[in-house]
Structure 1
């Protein structure tokens, strides 16, 4: 990871695990909390030559550690793909459910 970078922001996850995951670099200066449902990947070299990868998830009240993958070697896209895809999909589904609940509550008040 380049100097001055906090990690990469995962915007979406392709259905196919062998396709690249679109990301955007996030600078160290950009220390704002993650938007709810956003995932930030950070990696650093492991002593054995692999990479230690950490995923952080933005929630409404805080950023939390979503997953850690120690000592990954080679192309680790296939390893992190399932967790990212399920988390982003689950957050999208929960967002729809929350919006539907808010709408039904507003309609009930009318």
Structure 2
């Protein structure tokens, strides 16, 4: 991670925690607005010398805190990977279900 980065917008999360998570680095960690399904990791130095890492999830009308991992030391990607992978999969499944429901409603109304 670049020294100047304070955040990372996730592009993709691979199934295995040993594979790299693809991100777009953010110098501030403060986006103007997250798109639905987007996940932003932000971090700051923790009180105990580690990093306090927070994951934000973009929803249709707001951003919500997905998870907080305080005082992480060393390579913290294996710790956050399971949450990120599960949430991206869940959001994709909910998006497909929402689209199918909307299509079914449109067909029923026609």
Mark yes or no: TM-score above 0.5. yes
Q: CA RMSD in A?
A: 1.7
Q: Equivalent residue for 1:69?
A: 69
Partners of 2:54 and 2:67 within 8 A in 1: yes
Q: Equivalent residue for 2:44?
A: 44
Gap change, CA 1:28 and 1:76, over 3 Å in 2 = closer
Structure 2 alignment gaps of length 5 or more: none
Q: 2:97 and 2:11 mapped to 1: Cα distance?
A: 21
Structure 1 alignment gaps of length 5 or more: none
Q: Equivalent residue for 1:107?
A: 107
What's the TM-score once normalised by structure 1's chain length? 0.90
**Regions of 4+ moved over 6 Å:** none
What's the TM-score once normalised by structure 2's chain length? 0.90
Per-residue deviation, residues 54-97 of structure 1 (Å, max 9, x unmatched) = 00000111111110000111101110001001111100000000
Gap change, CA 1:49 and 1:30, over 3 Å in 2 = closer
